[in-house]
């Protein structure tokens, strides 16, 4: 059954949204094409009308996630707090795509790595300008260092099976970055990107 052109576009968006969530949650390999389509409310048949292959879907899903309004650090302190919060740690599917996908992307298609790299760049730039507003010298260096710390700590905290250690990793990394950047604690938890 044929659908409206705008229906089709909406379907495509739903597929990309579902793929973004599922891929973050379970990894590229563990998610089947049929599963994505079902999550989008369709069957597996129409898939190849939208995408050339599963690899194509992966690349486009990554680009889609990053295109979809990344949370920039409006307030740097709040951003750090939110990023390293238990809430964000437990919200893999809708949390930071970088933390959820980095390791997997390395083994994916060049197109996928390209899309991911583009996301990295904009995220680094965002953090750098947020830092520059406070203290300018070496803003880019601080942005890269802080970004690496954030991603590393979040992924470690998610992997650890001991909640205490997991919490400690988040907490201490937050303090460590705070000391480094000269940024103290803020508050306001929320799922960040």
Q: Considering beta carbons, is residue 69 or 137 the nearer one to a copy of itself? A: 137
Chain centroid to CA 150: how far?
12
Indicate the Cα dihedral angle 83, 89, 90, 95, nearest 10°.
50
The single residue among 41, 179, 182, 189 that binds a copy of itself, judged by CB under 8 A, is 179
Binding mask 33-72 for DNA (x = CB under 7 A): xxx-x----xxxxxxxxx--xxx-----------------
Query: Hey, what long-range contacts does 132-139 have (CB within 8 A, 24 or more apart)?
Result: 133/76, 134/76, 134/181, 134/182, 134/183, 135/181, 135/182
Residue placing its CB nearer to DNA in the complex, 11 or 77: 11
Residue 13 near which of a copy of itself, DNA, none (CB within 5-8 Å, type-dependent)? none
CA distance 167 to 186: 17
Q: Which stretch binds a copy of itself (CB under 8 A): 34-42, 48-56, 73-81, 103-111?
A: 103-111
User: Are the C-beta atoms of 192 and 81 separated by less than 8 Å?
Assistant: no
**Residues 3-22 contacting DNA, CB under 7 A:** 3-8, 11-12
User: Per-residue contact track with a copy of itself, 24 to 63, x per CB under 8 A?
Assistant: --xx-xx---------------------------------
Nearer to a copy of itself, 44 or 121 (CB): 121
Residue 183 to residues 70, 88, 153, Cα–Cα distance (Å): 22, 20, 18
CB 58 within 8 A of CB 28: yes
Residues contributing to the site for a copy of itself (CB under 8 A) = 26-27, 29-30, 92, 98, 100-107, 110, 113-114, 116-117, 120-121, 140-142, 144-153, 155-156, 158-162, 165, 168-169, 172-173, 175-177, 179-180
């Amino acid at each position: 059954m044929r659908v409206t052109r705008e229906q089709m576009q909406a379907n495509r968006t739903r597929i990309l949204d579902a793929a973004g969530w599922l891929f973050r949650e379970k990894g590229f390999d563990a998610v089947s094409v049929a599963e994505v389509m079902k999550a989008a409310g369709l069957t597996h048949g129409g898939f190849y009308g939208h995408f050339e292959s599963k690899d194509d879907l992966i690349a486009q899903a990554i680009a889609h996630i990053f295109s979809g309004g990344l949370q920039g650090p409006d307030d740097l302190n709040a951003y750090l707090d939110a990023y390293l919060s238990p809430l964000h740690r437990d919200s893999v599917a809708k949390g930071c795509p970088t933390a959820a996908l980095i390791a997997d992307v390395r083994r994916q298609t060049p197109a996928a790595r390209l899309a991911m790299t583009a996301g990295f760049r904009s995220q680094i730039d965002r953090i750098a300008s947020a830092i520059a507003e406070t203290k300018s010298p070496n803003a880019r260096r601080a942005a890269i260092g802080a970004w690496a710390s954030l991603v590393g700590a979040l992924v470690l905290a998610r992997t650890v099976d001991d909640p205490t250690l997991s919490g400690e990793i988040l907490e201490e990394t937050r303090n460590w970055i705070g000391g480094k950047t000269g940024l103290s604690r803020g508050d306001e938890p929320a799922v960040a990107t």
